[in-house]
Structure 1
Amino acid sequence: MDADSSLYAERTWKTPLQLLTGDTTVKICAPMVRYSKLPFRQLVRKYQCDLAFTPMIISDSFIRSVKARDSEFTTCAEDRPLIVQFAANNPQDLANAAEIISPFSDGIDLNCGCPQRWAMAEGYGACLIDKPQLLYDIVHETKSRIQNPDFTVSVKMRIHSDIRTTVDLCQKLEKTGVSWITVHGRTKDQHHQPANVDAIRLIKENVNIPVVANGDIKSLDDVTRVAKETGVNGVMSARGILGNPAMFAGYNITPLQCVQDWLDISLPLGMPFPLFHHHLIDMLEKSLCRSERRVFNTLSSTSSVIDYLRENFQIGT
């Protein structure tokens, strides 16, 4: 993480709160482990993504290790507005991480939604919604440490089985000073069930800070529908935008120009082949039949992928 903070001295973009308090629904790329890194953020920003998150970063290792910071966080002058998401289980870690990252980003987000066992065993992720006092303390400490009024401190959470508990939690977080809340409309035990849009609407109706909806957002039509049904300020996509990075621009499947843009962005950065390839597998899923996907998925080198794209889609470098 060696970017020069002078790159960001002159703001040319809207802050997250300026976006979220505007008149249009903010379209957001979710934090995704491995996938929402700089090259992918650069790609989706070309297709009307308003705000992007980094993957979740473990706060204590980020604080302690320069190597971890350089590995986990990269950005550039055009990568704005940007929210950096952290996993933290105590107030000091998130506040310390916020101080380090604030010159290079527009906000910090606390992950309160990851349902994986390893994360909850370490006190991270979705278990925090059942530890309200700790959650309030983490938000309060971080807000008090960062004096920049434009720098946001937000929370991304799952819901409780009893939605009244979640509403109460969000109201208390608002009083603690959280800038905005993203609600994934599932409990920590739900995986593929439909997102609970009614729960998101109820939360939005009972707080006075911006709320972002997350879950089952796979097209621009979904963005419009969920915003209308809930009244939220923004809508966030994860799996949907992985499969179609151009979805916020209204495309129903990934256009070939977007695939070409991915090559142009990722290859000069030396992206590791497995990640480069996996993104393309997701992008091309709807453009290839089953037998074609079987062939494409077994390609084992950058050159073989480029040859395939050139021969079958007339694109490539």
Structure 2
Amino acid sequence: MSIKVLPPKCNRTDPLEIIRTRQRTHGRPATIAGPMVRYSKLSFRQICRDYNVDIVYTPMMLAREYVRNSQARISDFSTNDLDTPTIIQVGTNNVTDLLRFIEMVAPYVDGVGINCGCPIKEQLREEIGCALIYNETLLVEMVKAVKDKYGDTLRLETKIRIHEHTRPERTLKMCQDLCEVGVDWITVHGRLRTTRSSEPVDLDAIKYIVDGLKGYDVPVVANGDCFTVADMGRIADYTGVQGVMSARGILSNPGLFDGYDICPWGCVEKFINYCMEFGGLPFQLIQHHIFCMFENMRVSKDDIRQLMSTRNMFELIDWIDSRFDLKRPGDKEFGTREAIPYLESSK
């Protein structure tokens, strides 16, 4: 049986150029939607781009599973020519799997990010994610192997957490070593491996790294606690980073980088449309995306309960139509309204 190989994506964008120039061209840092397990799929990536997001990540994909399992490739990654710039994030613990993974995905993305920040215990046991910041030699070896092979034809990022506060110089030394072997940019999640997301991000640690890398031509992106466009400005001004990444914030409000403090209703309409147009998302995932947006929009608990009681896409659309004025593509005001358009009969 022959294997069909898709042609490379024809529409490509250089994410490094965006990060380097956004302050000059737009008067703000680069805006980035971070990788989220399950959630950063094609339909969600596109909705983010509709609301002033410059760069979007895929969920983390395990290199070994992706390379060996065709079903993993089908379920983990889909794309199209609108899906740019996209960074595919990978979890790996060796050079061989990383290079094989990149060989398979490079024609379809604009860059690859190595996950060095996931603190989940299962990932740590596999020596991937956050375990890599405690194995600096391996991390540097992996970056060097990729850049030696691909050079500037492939952008490569590392997304790290910080070491314990007693060793800030260890994190900086690791970042400097990554710069020496050609990493294109570094994203710093300003929390320790053991820090809960409910605890404030350490902006001083991010600033320390930014200041320590000023002798290198390598941008730094800040990650953590960005829930509004005001947060973006505050984080960038304090740390001096060239890009700001949001994950939890943009999951509940894809419009945050466009200045919306509360998710606009248009996000819901556009997201449903992309889900129907692109396909590939399980119903429960679509349902939970809308749940996150509704929570941010302060939809009533009763309405959220009814949303979560729907059992398939037909029931979900029928229920939304019974409560709200849901526009379709081609309808006037489709995807443009901010306020929740309750139907008079449902109030």
* TM-score, L = length of structure 1: 0.94
- Residue 48 of structure 1 aligns with an amino acid whose one-letter code is N
Partner residue of 2:160?
Answer: 157
Deviations 1:33-60 (A, max 9, x none): 1000111001111111100111000001
Q: Which of residues 244, 247, 254 is equivalent to 1:245?
A: 254
Closer/same/farther in 2, CA of residues 157 and 6 from structure 1, 3 Å limit: closer
Secondary structure, aligned partner of 2:46 = helix
**Which of residues 7, 25, 30 in structure 2 aligns to 1:5?**
7
Which of the numbers 44, 52, 55 marks the counterpart of 1:51? Answer: 55
Distance across 1 between alignment mates of 2:311 and 2:62: 31
Q: Which residue of 2 aligns with 1:166?
A: 171
Aligned equivalent of 1:258: 267
Question: What are the Cα deviations for residues 81-110 of structure 1, in whole angstroms up to 9, with x where unaligned?
Answer: 111100010111112211221111111111
Q: Which runs of 5+ in 1 are unaligned?
A: none
**Deviation digits for residues 229-280 of structure 1 (CA, Å, limit 9, x no counterpart):** 1110111111100101111111111111111001111023153210010000
Q: Which residue of 2 aligns with 1:201?
A: 207
| Distance of 1:60 and 1:67 partners within structure 2 | 13
Q: 3-state SS of the aligned residue for 2:59?
A: coil
Q: Which amino acid aligns with 2:284?
A: P
Say whether 1:281 aligns with 2:291.
yes
Query: Does the C-alpha gap of structure 1 residues 2 and 108 become closer, same or farther in structure 2, counting only changes over 3 Å?
Result: farther
User: 1:273 touches 1:301 (CA, 8 Å); kept in 2?
Assistant: yes
Q: C-alpha distance in 1, partners of 2:309/2:315? A: 10
Q: Flag the 1:3–1:46 CA change in 2: closer, same or farther, 3 A.
A: farther
Q: After superposition, where does 1:28-43 map in structure 2 within 5 Å?
A: 28-43=32-47
Q: Structure 2 CA distance, aligned partners of 1:137 and 1:194?
A: 32
* In 1, Cα distance between equivalents of 2:163 and 2:65: 29
Which residue in 2 is equivalent to 1:17? 16
Residue of structure 2 equivalent to 1:76: 80
TM-score norm. by structure 2 comes to 0.86
Partner of 1:177: 182
Aligned to 1:297: 308
Q: Residue 310 of structure 2: SS of its match in structure 1? A: coil
Q: Distance in 2 between matches of 1:290 and 1:165?
A: 46
The alignment of Structure 1 onto Structure 2 pairs a total of residues equal to 313
Computing the radius of gyration over CA atoms, which structure comes out larger, 1 or 2?
A: 2
